[in-house]
Amino acid sequence: MTPKSKATIADVARAAGVSTATAGRVLGGYGYTSEEKKEHVLKAAQDLGYRPNALARSLITGKTRTLGVVAGDIQNPFYASVLRGISNVAEANGFGLLITNSDEARAKEVHSVELLAQKQVDGLIVTPSDTRKARHLHNLKAMGMPLVLIDRAVAGLMVDRVATDNIAAAEQAVRHLIAAGHRRIGIVAELVDEESGKLDAFLARAVAGDPIESETLYPSWQRLLGYIRAHRIEGLPVDPRLTLRAGSYSALAAQAVVSRLMTTPGQPTALFTTDGTMSEGAMRALTELKLSIPQDLSLICFDDLDWMSFHRPGITTVAQPRLAMGEAAARMLLERIRGEAFPPRTVLMPAELVERGSVARL
């Protein structure tokens, strides 16, 4: 036979001298077939230029060999690196990716999860925007969908999770500033929460050393907890006026609160920003106020973004293992898809303090 551009399984079966069912098992990679018949089928498929029909195969096997990902904000460099890590592992294992974006909005996340489930992905990696209820994620688990959370946990949802050890990383960064002689250290964080009085209560409990359930806190709250712990360990008081709450995932909101802080009495000598968005807003404010780093203000940023090494002086940062987080999440998901029955696992990865030139010694 001459090669065809759209050969079917039936064509391959005739050329190999086997049944269509046998050709389907060989080309679909399921069931048992003798080595001799397998060789005949594979040679016929190659000669005919056969390309597998993924939809037909999924109907037979119940698997699409695709992973679904719901990212909080694909424009954010954090998610870009995480997605690269997921892609590396997926590609190496013959899986494709379907990627959606929630914009940190619960309604969009629910829609994304429903869309990916309809596409019959074999498993999901999600950064949950709702860490308290997330009923749609509980429903997925109840349906048996393999699920891995990245960056955040959901209360009561016992599934695999990968995140940075935010508390330890923030504590290390703030203690670095304290070791350099700084005693008035500001922090700017999203601290998104619908309870307007939660920040004051949280500060009071954390400063007193009361137990706080930290696993399901949003990362900015975990990093605030690390900031407070650094002060407690070093025997320094926490000034609530230096705790800046942006209230949203917005560089403009961060710029506004930093501008107010730096134009009122009792200014800090150092600032700790809790992620790339907050860092961008802080830099806008400092540039607008014509303040120099580190002469007028020392700075440590959480998340090591490209511009931080290009800036002069370079910005000291807390570098998250973003690529490794994505790779770990993908490997864990593939294990679940293969039917591994481990108890739910939480992997907290250490961050690295990258010292550059944005911290002055006092």
Q: What was the pLDDT predicted at 1?
A: 42
The predicted model scores a pTM of 0.82
Residue 272 confidence (pLDDT) above 50: yes
Residue 46 confidence (pLDDT) above 90: no
In the chain, what are the domains? 9-61 (1.10.260.40), 66-164+322-349 (3.40.50.2300), 166-320 (3.40.50.2300)
Q: Mind listing the pLDDT tens digit for each residue in 155-210?
A: 999 999 999 999 999 999 999 999 999 999 999 999 987 555 688 889 999 999 89
Tell which residue, 76, 74, 71, 69, has the closest CA to residue 275: 76
pLDDT, average across residues 279-305: 96
Sign of CA dihedral 24, 26, 27, 30: positive
Candidate ranges 117-131, 301-315, 317-331; pick with highest mean pLDDT: 317-331
**Contact 245/199 with Cβ under 8 angstroms?**
yes
Residue 100 confidence (pLDDT) above 80: yes
Tell which residue, 190, 179, 172, 202, has the closest CA to residue 282: 190
Q: What was the pLDDT predicted at 268?
A: 97
Q: What was the pLDDT predicted at 53?
A: 61
Predicted confidence band of residue 7 (pLDDT cuts 50, 70, 90): confident
**Contact 29/40 with Cβ under 8 angstroms?**
no
